[in-house]
Amino acid sequence: MKLSTRIPGELRLNAISALLEEKRRRGEPILDLTISNPTQAGIEYPGGFLGALANDRALLYEPAAFGMPSARERIAREYRAPYDNVILTASTSEAYSWIFKLLCDPGCEVLVPRPSYPLFEYLAKLESVEVRHYSLFYDHGWYIDFHTIERALNYRTRAIVLVNPNNPTGHFIKRGEAEQLADLCQRHGVALISDEVFADYQIDPDFDSLLSLQGLADFTLNGLSKAVGLPQMKLAWMITKRLVPELEMIADTYLSVGAPVQVALPSLLALKEPVQRQILARVRENLAHVARHLRVEAGWYAILPVLDEEETALRLLRESGILVQPGYFYDFERSGYLVVSLLTQPDIFSVCDRDAVETFLYRGRHKLRRHLIHDVLRHHPPARRVPRLAHLERRVEPQGFHTAPTLARDFDKTLAVFSGQARCVNVGAGPPQLNTMPQQRVNDSKNPPVNRLVALVVD
Ligand SMILES: Cc1ncc(COP(=O)(O)O)c(C=O)c1O
């Protein structure tokens, strides 16, 4: 049998999955900090709601391309959207596949964020669509690197995907960024897709964060999977900015959502409040256990900076049976992050408490500092650094870390700044002195002469 080229070639287990398989085969206990399936995370669903799936109304089959009118109306009311713009699908994944079918010919491209949800590669490939990445960078919060979008856009680009809040970074888009993105999409004639499956799980949004792009994005996606913690129900929806009658042919070809779940929708949505309350309480409790993590605004994940992500993940699993995900699972641009699911049951989280995890994470602090500086040097060609430094000189104040976030944002967009106290390190020889923090300055003359560089490092 010949297979299509849409199917990936040989699928090989990575070292972490291989070790996990081996441990499971030997019957060893695993402290799994990666569970993101709410139905297996000890969430209590109010009793009796499954009865709604046995409603006799579901005995009648009345095919409707965009879903049953009663179910569409319910979603329209819930999300304050026009009825005609609500389209039901079996999952968010299916919504992506319909949108890609609608917009893309084979070989067309969609831009997706990096780091983000790893399924995009497959969702696109299965539609013969290519994925291109744009970058998110961390600076006491995550931001879009618009240069990378501009660079990736070309005549084959048909859509930009935004995940808001993003998985696994847990950040919302900023208002200004959303406008810039929408404007960019309009100028280039590409669609904007906003995946908002985690939007209800707000932990600590920034005042400047935009919680939904409904009305701004061409397609806004959500579903029961996360909004009500019921992925097995297979009901999701997209809300379009304007009517898209061409979608009807695609939707009508599949007619994929089952009648019982659509009839039961009001009863399922009634679970939103109790389920979301439990998940949010869980997420907050677990987050308090994570000693050091990057800022989280929403969602179910925390990101922990480490020195060597794969090595740390392997050691945690090998020596303590603790399962975490290394950042490369989510396409982080640089190595040095672990991802843990905050949906994990708290007793599991507290067993592998601060000490166990911290020993692994912070053993190499000194090296972490050097590693960061090295990273900064690698990412910042001198020509781009120098004018920015002149600009910075005017803005930096003498009190060390107060200025750190501003400094980092201005200095360059890809500089990774870790939470906690930061201090300023001045490296190398070069043009004008930046002596604003003399008491904290380190002048390492052994470094090769580079343009003067300011880096923020964990202290
Ligand atoms: C960003 C994002 N979108 C979509 C999904 C999948 O949603 P669904 O189950 O509706 O396909 C996930 C699942 O984790 C996700 O993280």
Instruction: Please say if the pLDDT value at position 445 is more than 80.
Output: no
Q: Does domain 15-42+273-364 have CATH number 3.40.50.300?
A: no
Q: Ligand 1 within 6 A of 312 CB?
A: no
Could you tell me the distance, in angstroms and rounded to a whole number, from the CA of residue 370 to the centre of ligand 1?
37
CA 306 to chain centre: 18
Tell me: the pLDDT tens digits for 83-135? 999 999 999 999 999 999 999 999 999 999 999 999 999 999 999 999 999 99
Tell me: the pLDDT tens digits for 223-260? 999 999 999 999 999 999 999 999 999 999 999 999 99
Select the more confidently predicted residue: 289 or 22.
22
Could you tell me the distance, in angstroms and rounded to a whole number, from the CA of residue 117 to the centre of ligand 1?
8
Q: Ligand 1 within 6 A of 407 CB?
A: no
What pLDDT was estimated at residue 353?
56
- Domain spans of the chain, in order of start: 15-42+273-364, 49-269, 367-458
Could you tell me the distance, in angstroms and rounded to a whole number, from the CA of residue 121 to the centre of ligand 1?
13
Terminal alpha carbon distance of the chain: 59
Could you tell me the distance, in angstroms and rounded to a whole number, from the CA of residue 197 to the centre of ligand 1?
6
Q: Ligand 1 within 6 A of 92 CB?
A: yes
What pLDDT was estimated at residue 308?
86
Looking at every residue in the chain, the average pLDDT score rounds to 81
Q: Ligand 1 within 6 A of 225 CB?
A: yes
Select the more confidently predicted residue: 370 or 341.
341
Q: Ligand 1 within 6 A of 324 CB?
A: no
Quickly count: other Cβ atoms within 10 Å of residue 377's Cβ.
19
Instruction: Please say if the pLDDT value at position 381 is more than 70.
Output: no
Euclidean distance between CA atoms 199 and 120, whole angstroms: 19
Q: Ligand 1 within 6 A of 88 CB?
A: no
Element holding 388 (H helix, E strand): helix 382-393
Q: Could you tell me which CATH class the domain 49-269 is placed in?
A: alpha beta
Whole-model pTM?
A: 0.80
Confidence of residue 444 (pLDDT cuts 50, 70, 90): very low
Ligand 1 pocket mutation pick from 164, 195, 197 by most atoms within 8 angstroms of CB: 197
CB proximity list for 67: less than 8 A, separation 6 or greater = 86, 87, 88, 237, 257, 262
For residue 178, give both structure tokens. 């959303």
Q: Is 44 helix (H, G, I), strand (E, B) or coil?
A: coil
**Dihedral over Cα of 310, 311, 317, 322: its sign:** negative
Residue 105 contacts residue 99 (beta carbons within 8 Å): no
Closest to 380 in 3D by CA, of 419, 416, 405: 416
Residue 39 contacts residue 232 (beta carbons within 8 Å): yes
CA distance to 261, 363, 364, 407, 418, per residue, from 404 (Å): 51, 24, 23, 5, 10
What pLDDT was estimated at residue 103?
98
Q: Convert 310-378 into a string of H (helix), E (strand) and C (coil).
A: HHHHHHHHHHHCEECEEHHHHCCCCCCEEEEECCCCHHHHHHCCHHHHHHHHHCCHHHHHHHHHHHHHH
Percent of the chain with pLDDT over 90: 67
Euclidean distance between CA atoms 315 and 322, whole angstroms: 9
Instruction: Please say if the pLDDT value at position 68 is more than 80.
Output: yes
Residue burial 194-223, b: 16+ Cβ < 10 Å; e: rest: bbbbbbbbbbeeeeebbbbbbebbbbbbbb
